[in-house]
Structure 1
Amino acid sequence: MAEPRKLSVRTMASFGIGEAAGAFMGTAWSVLLLFYYQQVVGVEAWLVGLAIGISVALDAVTDPLIGAWSDRIRTRWGRRHPMLLAAALPLAISFVLLFNPPRGMSDVEGFLWLTTFGVLVRASFTFYNIPHLALGAEMAHDYYQRSTLFAYSAFAYAMSVAVCYGLITGYYFPTVEGLYDPGFLNPHSYRTMSLTFAVVMVAAILLCVAGTRKEIPYLRDTQERGQMRFWTLFTEIWEVLKNASFRAVFFGLLLGSLVGGVESAFSPFMGVHFWGLRTEDLFYLAFVGLVSFPVAFVLIPVLTRLLDKRMSVMLPLASWITAVNVPICLRLADVPWFPENGSPWVLAIFIAASTVGALSAPIIGASANSMLADVADEHELDTGIRREGVLYSVRAFSQKATQAFGTVFGGILLSAIDFPTYATRGEVPAETIWNLGLIAGPATSIFSLLALGFYLRYRINHRRHAEIVAALEARREGPTGSGLARDAS
């Protein structure tokens, strides 16, 4: 069997830098968007949740279309790179407009503005993200090198999230006592924040394209040529859903996205109002990320070799569920010895729980992406066709669709618990705060536990993947290898 082509550190780092675009867009989206439109612009929470949900849901519909198209296009720059470049400017422009609506809008006008530019931001990012993920699966052929490549990707994403979060909490939105407490209420900071982040996103995309373009001649192309028909897409999706290991990852990520949708809606409210922290206190989470993410980067390939990829997802997920829920449940139960808001121990506990999440998230993300790359090999063995674009787009579709539902549901729940507009820290009713914690903690974690059950069903370990690769190599060597390929399947 031929030795797989090894990727250089420069190539893997360039691929990873591309994740900064998603990190800056996604962090601003999840941390600020619902809060900004509900608390600052003044749109009803359920309308904000609905607008964000529509944006993500419509974006989800485009995922399989973009993935299948990405699998088919042919240019001298390959299948993926032209789409990466085409997405840069639309993403930046729509992002700036999203966070700079006209003043004095009514609820309906705010809803329409948020929906329109939310859809454009998400669609532009998908036009970049799906080909970017598929590119990673194409560049790395080896079982362990895939884990290393996606570790670079997860590391760059996580570090970018830390930097982005630090800029949000420590630079753009400081607390102004008596005026903006929390600092997220300051309407003037959103303009400079959005312009800066737009520039970062474009730069990340350009660096990714420049650093990976030399791999274009070596990218594998076993996809049939021809025009894409809409109904053919559903056939391709059905094909990949027949794979048991893909279904395990698919439903595990789906449930995790549902939880993420609700938690992203509640995240800034939990830090400021449930735990009583200032914006400056939240800044410490950036340092948590800067310390935790390099550790996770080192742990990803180690865990993959020691535990295999399935347990590399399940162990961090179980740890994360525990770390999030224990302090919230202690506060909800009003345990006498648990520190009150304002105590330095509350910040310490919050940072400790966040550290577990900061370690777990990149490990789960990198391992899941690497698992899907292995599924692409198994699918090629079964069908003779590589479907990285479809695989990653179906994964993205499921995540976005459930995240959309979770965000809509989160907005509805904020309205249901009567969370006030332009709320100052420490002045929200205690009953509202208790309901906020119940939803963000134990209620949503039920779905995370169900995700663990699905990950248990993933079946491609190192031994199985070696069999798949050997069969594929035999098939590519000529007619004499086709029988071996069938035997291994």
Structure 2
Amino acid sequence: MSTGQRSTHRLSLGTMSAFGFGAISEATKNAAFNTFLLFYYNQVLGVSATGTSIALAIALIFDAITDPLAGSLSDKARTRWGRRHPFILFAAFPLAITLYLLFNPPELTETAYMVWLGVFSVLVRTAMTFYHIPHLALGAELTDDYNQRSTMYAFNTFFAALGGALFIPFSYRLFFPTTAEFNPALLNQAAYSPWAIFAGGIIIFAIVVCFLGTKSEIPRLRAHVAEHQSRFSAGQLFAELAAAFRNRSYRAIFFGMMLSTFVLAVEGIFNPFMGFHFWGMTTEQLTYIPLGSLVGLVLSMLLIPWVTRTFDKKPTLIGSAALTIINVNVPIVLSLMGVSWFPEPGSTTLLFILIISALVTATLGPIIFATLNSMFADITDEHELEVGERREGVIFAARAFAVKATSSMGLIFGGILLDYIQFPRGAMMGEVPADISWQLGFIAGPATSVITLTGLILYLGYRIDRNRHAEIMAELDSRAGQ
């Protein structure tokens, strides 16, 4: 039970911006893993795609185990800096150092490269967990206002998308220019060391800004922590996880996200191969696509307040996700069908179409993820009503577990599919057979979208709307006043 009656607290623009800015650290790490890591170990170091994906999947399994641990520990932490802030700050340097070592192994055998990949992927992901879970949980604590939660998580999603949209083209331009020797340019092994230092610096800066920009809220957050909260133990952790899954809305979002995340992991394996070998783009051409993403992000930030006021969260999530699936698939399907008027790979017209597609995806993406995180935050309120204490860390840790556990399966599946279609290692532009490129596009587009659509059906089970959330907060206020 809270120490006093709650009142709705309005966050400043600076606080919300600082909270969101921290997401750049995760975006940088995700871009490093999704765009560069498998390509580096498979195409540069010569490790099989299946072996690489299995090593990454094992790392995700270890990471998934640490998520509930980080969530429960931060739920129960009591320090002068609050529950979440110490975890957020202390994760910065270990995250940057282990990311550098991951991309700079000594000369090893293929098996030893797999071990190195597995070990340092575990260390990077563990460091990120002890930032990411407390950071998400902090968001649920900062405000209990139904609409402002969506706005605050929109800032988080905006900066995450902005970080990814800028980090990749800056990486291409500064460290991976196309040359006669390296085309695609990501084959240049020597560039990965300075690039990894660049990535680590961004991660540290983003986390420090988040910490400093939100620490003024610590006294208020400490005052809202329950006086008598259960101590941490393994048995208590499993009991708290079981209690979370008894919530119907939580199950709906949890399992819907699992299916969507599985698809995103498979597509993440294929994305760098798609850019170079399906769309026929150089790294220089690919740097223009994020320009569309940047415009889309601005449009999204303008739309989110209107969407939040006009629509409830469940229809916003389902509608935006459905439009994203259509947008991603249209150019892929047209290319697969060999439509006569559709532009050729590598052409300027095709690049323009990909920029527009990125704009639409970037407009819808922040709406989707801000809505999802806001829904999870609302579930923490309903869960507090059910169990009598705040458990944001456990709620968001189980959410992260869903993402990582299914990502591990998606990574394995994606790697197996790359080997199944016999994608050549170290392939230069134009050397991949047409039938292999076609299979690449079919898997990355329509084949995996069937699974995503199933996830949208599961979201229909979510049942907290604006009126239900008002009832929850009224009951919590009534308890706090007793």
TM-score range, shorter chain: over 0.9
> Which residue is equivalent to 1:218?
220
User: How far off its partner does 1:298 sit?
Assistant: 2.0
> Which residue is equivalent to 2:128?
125
- AA partner of residue 196 (structure 2): S
Whole-Å separation in 2 of the counterparts to 1:24 and 1:383? 36
> Which residue is equivalent to 2:422?
418
> Which residue is equivalent to 2:361?
357
Q: Say which of 441, 451, 457 aligns to 1:437.
A: 441
Whole-Å separation in 2 of the counterparts to 1:226 and 1:4? 26
Whole-Å separation in 1 of the counterparts to 2:289 and 2:408? 26
- AA partner of residue 189 (structure 1): A
Whole-Å separation in 1 of the counterparts to 2:53 and 2:420? 12
Which range is displaced more, 463-472 or 165-174? 165-174
Which range is displaced more, 463-472 or 392-401? 463-472
Residues 165 and 285 of structure 1 are in contact (CA less than 8 Å); yes or no, is this contact kept in structure 2?
no
Whole-Å separation in 1 of the counterparts to 2:227 and 2:207? 25
After superposition, the CA RMSD in angstroms is: 1.3
Q: Say which of 106, 110, 121 aligns to 1:107.
A: 110
> Which residue is equivalent to 2:13?
9
> Which residue is equivalent to 2:91?
87
Whole-Å separation in 1 of the counterparts to 2:88 and 2:227? 20
- AA partner of residue 430 (structure 2): G
> Which residue is equivalent to 2:189?
187
Asked if residue 159 in structure 1 is aligned to residue 162 in structure 2, the reply is yes
- AA partner of residue 98 (structure 1): L
> Which residue is equivalent to 1:135?
138
> Which residue is equivalent to 1:205?
207
Whole-Å separation in 1 of the counterparts to 2:45 and 2:304? 41
User: How far off its partner does 1:346 sit?
Assistant: 1.6
Q: Say which of 42, 47, 50 aligns to 2:51.
A: 47
Deviations 1:112-170 (A, max 9, x none): 11101100000100011000000010011111111111111111111111111221222
Asked if residue 405 in structure 1 is aligned to residue 409 in structure 2, the reply is yes
User: How far off its partner does 1:22 sit?
Assistant: 0.3
> Which residue is equivalent to 1:320?
324
Q: TM-score, normalised by structure 1?
A: 0.95
Residues 250 and 379 of structure 2 are in contact (CA less than 8 Å); yes or no, is this contact kept in structure 1?
yes
> Which residue is equivalent to 1:486?
none
Asked if residue 242 in structure 1 is aligned to residue 246 in structure 2, the reply is yes
User: How far off its partner does 1:344 sit?
Assistant: 2.2
Which range is displaced more, 124-133 or 85-94? 85-94
Deviations 1:377-422 (A, max 9, x none): 1111122111100000000001111011101111111111111111
1:342–1:73: structure 2 CA closer, same or farther, 3 Å change rule? closer
- AA partner of residue 161 (structure 2): A
Residues 70 and 397 of structure 2 are in contact (CA less than 8 Å); yes or no, is this contact kept in structure 1?
yes
> Which residue is equivalent to 1:22?
26
Asked if residue 333 in structure 1 is aligned to residue 334 in structure 2, the reply is no
Which range is displaced more, 134-143 or 220-229? 220-229
Residues 223 and 385 of structure 1 are in contact (CA less than 8 Å); yes or no, is this contact kept in structure 2?
no
> Which residue is equivalent to 2:260?
256
User: How far off its partner does 1:69 sit?
Assistant: 1.0
> Which residue is equivalent to 2:478?
474
Asked if residue 69 in structure 1 is aligned to residue 103 in structure 2, the reply is no
Residues 285 and 351 of structure 1 are in contact (CA less than 8 Å); yes or no, is this contact kept in structure 2?
yes
Whole-Å separation in 1 of the counterparts to 2:172 and 2:61? 29
User: How far off its partner does 1:206 sit?
Assistant: 1.1
Whole-Å separation in 2 of the counterparts to 1:347 and 1:92? 33
Deviations 1:39-81 (A, max 9, x none): 0111111111111111112101110111111111111111111
Q: TM-score, normalised by structure 2?
A: 0.96
Whole-Å separation in 1 of the counterparts to 2:175 and 2:365? 25
Q: Say which of 278, 299, 303 aligns to 1:274.
A: 278
Whole-Å separation in 1 of the counterparts to 2:60 and 2:145? 33
User: Which secondary structure does the structure 2 equivalent of 1:456 belong to?
Assistant: helix
User: Which secondary structure does the structure 2 equivalent of 1:188 belong to?
Assistant: helix
- AA partner of residue 388 (structure 2): G
Which range is displaced more, 120-129 or 51-60? 51-60
- AA partner of residue 270 (structure 2): F
Residues 92 and 203 of structure 2 are in contact (CA less than 8 Å); yes or no, is this contact kept in structure 1?
yes
Whole-Å separation in 2 of the counterparts to 1:193 and 1:8? 35
Whole-Å separation in 2 of the counterparts to 1:464 and 1:227? 31
Q: Give 5+ residue unaligned stretches, structure 2.
A: none
- AA partner of residue 16 (structure 1): G
User: How far off its partner does 1:448 sit?
Assistant: 0.8
Whole-Å separation in 1 of the counterparts to 2:86 and 2:399? 22
User: Which secondary structure does the structure 2 equivalent of 1:337 belong to?
Assistant: coil
User: How far off its partner does 1:434 sit?
Assistant: 1.1
Whole-Å separation in 1 of the counterparts to 2:236 and 2:311? 38
> Which residue is equivalent to 2:351?
347
User: How far off its partner does 1:310 sit?
Assistant: 1.1
User: How far off its partner does 1:306 sit?
Assistant: 1.0
Residues 300 and 367 of structure 1 are in contact (CA less than 8 Å); yes or no, is this contact kept in structure 2?
no
Q: Give 5+ residue unaligned stretches, structure 1.
A: 479-489
User: How far off its partner does 1:345 sit?
Assistant: 2.1
Whole-Å separation in 2 of the counterparts to 1:14 and 1:147? 16
User: Which secondary structure does the structure 2 equivalent of 1:181 belong to?
Assistant: coil
- AA partner of residue 111 (structure 2): V
- AA partner of residue 196 (structure 1): F
Whole-Å separation in 1 of the counterparts to 2:58 and 2:133? 20
- For residues 292-307 of structure 1, the aligned pairs below 5 Å read 292-307=296-311
